[in-house]
Chains A and B, each alone.
Chain A
Amino acid sequence: MKNLQEQEKQELLPAERSVFTAPLQRRSFLQFAGAGAATIALVAAGCKKDRNDPMVPGGVTLNFKDDFGVLNYAYALEQLEAAFYIQVASNPPSGFSPAEKQYFQDIQFHEIAHREFFKKALGTAAIGSLEVDFSSINFTDRTSVLGAAMAFEDLGVGAYNGAGVHLTTDAYLVAAGKIVSVEARHAAYVRDLISNGTFASSPQVDANGLDKALTPDVVLAAAGKYIKTKITVTNL
């Protein structure tokens, strides 16, 4: 029993941070929506790395005024993931085991299914195809591929967790929920490949046992490295 109490003591202190969860999200929301100067600085920072690249004309706008904007946001991320896994599955690193080749092929089809689902669900409201940039990934190197896969999966989980609250249609909220847990399964698998037992490690999962919930500004800043197409979020 003593151990148990010790355990509770350890867990309760971090649990206090749980009350920060909601205000934190609201805070970042306010910062993104309201803090004009900071937002501009952020956009500039996000673009810095791409300054030497030719910008794709037009770009896409994700308008969060309704569910289509949120679904297009998910569609954009699924396009990115699908493109990555297609490249991995079609030409896996030599360091991949047969089982890893099989599972990366599985994941490839999951991401393709997600991408096509959103495309169909959105119909004429769907954004176009994004232009990806995977020049920072060494597709012949297992470590590089696994690192990128982990980044994509953890980012995807955080993106869906953060976007769910914006959805107003039951069917779309449930669909997003159906997808995010599959992404979390991927994330755990990839993390365990990199280092067994890190499936839900800190800081990805915090002391309250909570996964990340990320706002679109954070997600797109991180994903921007892999996307040439300019993405703008409005009405968040």
Chain B
Amino acid sequence: MNIVNILEEIEKVDGEIYERLNPRRSAMKDFYNMGKKVALAAMPLALGSMFTKAYGQSTPTAVVDVLNFALTLEYLEYHFYNHSLLAAPGLLTAGTPAHGAITTIRDHELAHVNLLKGALGSAARPALAYSDFDFTAKGTFPTVYSDYKTFLAVAQAFEDTGVRAYKGQATVLKGMPVLTTALQIHSVEARHASHIRQMRAAPAGGGVPIKPWISLGAGGGANDSGVPQVDPVYKGEDLETQAGVTITGIATGVTKAAAVESFDEPLAKADVLTIASLFIK
């Protein structure tokens, strides 16, 4: 189904409606054209000032903290995938669906880094390089870049953590336009997580008995990944009650597993940073 593009419909009636409703648009068009000529190094700063203009105010400290927190995670994800594509011989073969999917995800993570850097402008945290990370988690996953199954297991942990991390910051951004942007990143991370989980479930990924959504683990635990080392990633994912409503048994067929699958849980910033710190030198 094609989603009806209302904006286009209205534009047919009133071709100048964008300009009429938002005179800043033309300025942004100019900026977009100008961007092609601006030195790469100057881009984040330029984007930052545009972002500030778009919101019509300077960014509050709490929001800066959230965006820098998100930026740290995006750097982590980006470098994790980028290294797998550039410097992990034999891990992913060019032309395979796996290589394509990881490339797609890597590109999204880089886009998120750039987006957040642009939003933060001069308030952005110092950049993180691949050399700032240890994706073996200090030896916990020594084969992360040589064994495809281990690589995917760590990827899943990152994506599921990313989803939880963004969700955990939603209330800080409540009612702000930047919440929408954060939600737009959040659901993309969830799409990534779903696909990585499917890759792990495929025969090449080890045929791990895992679903695209987070379910109950073996023995009813919160960690369904089959990787006990990442228990903190799934802490509290086995919640059965939402906003005071008990989900298990809410209708026929809604088992505890279904209740757990139906709602992804947020993770507090401190918990996320503890997980991330395992991978940061």
Q: Could you say which residues of chain A place their CB within 8 Å of the CB of B232?
A: none
Q: Could you say which residues of chain A place their CB within 8 Å of the CB of B6?
A: 28, 31, 42, 215, 217-218, 221
Do the beta carbons of A106 and B188 come within 8 Å of each other?
Answer: no
For the complex, give the distance between the alpha carbons of A216 and B275 in Å: 37
Residue A211, interface by CB 8 Å: yes
Interface residue range, chain A: 35 or more
For the complex, give the distance between the alpha carbons of A113 and B194 in Å: 20
Q: Could you say which residues of chain A place their CB within 8 Å of the CB of B278?
A: none
Taken residue by residue from 158 to 179, chain B's Cβ proximity to chain A (1 for < 8 Å, 0 otherwise) reads as 0000010011001100111111
Do the beta carbons of A109 and B262 come within 8 Å of each other?
Answer: yes
Q: Could you say which residues of chain B place their CB within 8 Å of the CB of A189?
A: 194, 198, 212
A9-B40, A38-B10 as given contacts; A114 in contact with B17, CB under 8 Å: no
Taken residue by residue from 153 to 165, chain A's Cβ proximity to chain B (1 for < 8 Å, 0 otherwise) reads as 0010110111011
Could you show 28 A-B contacts with beta carbons less than 8 Å apart? A15-B43, A15-B111, A19-B118, A22-B55, A22-B180, A28-B6, A30-B22, A31-B6, A31-B21, A109-B261, A109-B262, A112-B254, A116-B250, A161-B184, A165-B177, A171-B243, A174-B266, A177-B167, A178-B242, A178-B264, A181-B163, A183-B187, A185-B190, A185-B191, A188-B195, A208-B115, A211-B187, A211-B188
A residues adjacent to B (C-beta < 8 A): 3-5, 7-9, 11-23, 25-28, 30-31, 34-35, 37-38, 41-42, 45-46, 103, 106, 108-110, 112-114, 116-117, 120-121, 147-148, 151, 155, 157-158, 160-162, 164-165, 167-168, 170-175, 177-189, 192, 196-197, 199-201, 205, 207-215, 217-218, 221-222, 225
